[in-house]
Amino acid sequence: MDRMQLKTEFLCRLALNVHLPLTDVGGTPHGDRLVARITGGTFSGPKLKGHIHDGGGDWLLTGTDGVSKIDVRMTLETDDGALLYTTYHGFRHGPEAVMADLLKGKNVDPNLYYFRTSPRFETASKKNTCGLIVFLRLLSAEGIQRDPSMTYMKFSSPS
């Protein structure tokens, strides 16, 4: 039986500014909760570019199994003024030492840990329909403590 292969294309790269220190809610019945407030940023790609509004966030929950559940919500504004409400949920997991390095802001090879999300866009714009978004992968968290930012790349199915 032939398996259908999902084809993707580069959509954009996001550079998020995050307020530090992160809010450590502590150990809850569901796991350790951290809250990261997104204070802005930019995104750019061949079909989409603009800036990220202040006020978004990531509600990160790490369970006793070491798996982190990601819950991000933010508003993007394209260069032509369209607003894109963006959410993504996902999982991040890897060896304890690698995950500790990520939290310290070290540049970690993305092949050393698992990190996938499924982003969704919502917009009233007729022009900025992004298609089916497949996954988002953390490329670098370099400087997360010294320079509070994270860089991501998004991929979509070709239109």
Task: Say which amino acid occupies 70.
Answer: I
DSSP structural state of residue 70: E
Structure tokens at 29: 């019945």
Residue 136 confidence (pLDDT): 44
Nearest to 128 by CA among 75, 86, 63, 84: 84
Residue 138 confidence (pLDDT): 41
Residue 1 confidence (pLDDT): 62
Residue 133 confidence (pLDDT): 45
Q: Indicate the domain borders of the chain.
A: 9-156
Q: What are the beta bridge partners of residue 32?
A: 27, 62
Residue 97 confidence (pLDDT): 94
Residue range 9-156, CATH number: 2.40.160.20
Rounded to whole angstroms, how far apart are CA atoms 115 and 71? 13
Residue 107 confidence (pLDDT): 79
DSSP calls for 135-148: EEEEEE-TTTTTS-
Residue 120 confidence (pLDDT): 82
Residue 94 confidence (pLDDT): 93
Residue 134 confidence (pLDDT): 40
DSSP structural state of residue 67: P
Q: Which residues of the chain have pLDDT under 50?
A: 131-149, 157
Count CA within 13 A, CB hemisphere, residue 33: 10
Residue 135 confidence (pLDDT): 41
Nearest to 26 by CA among 57, 56, 62: 62
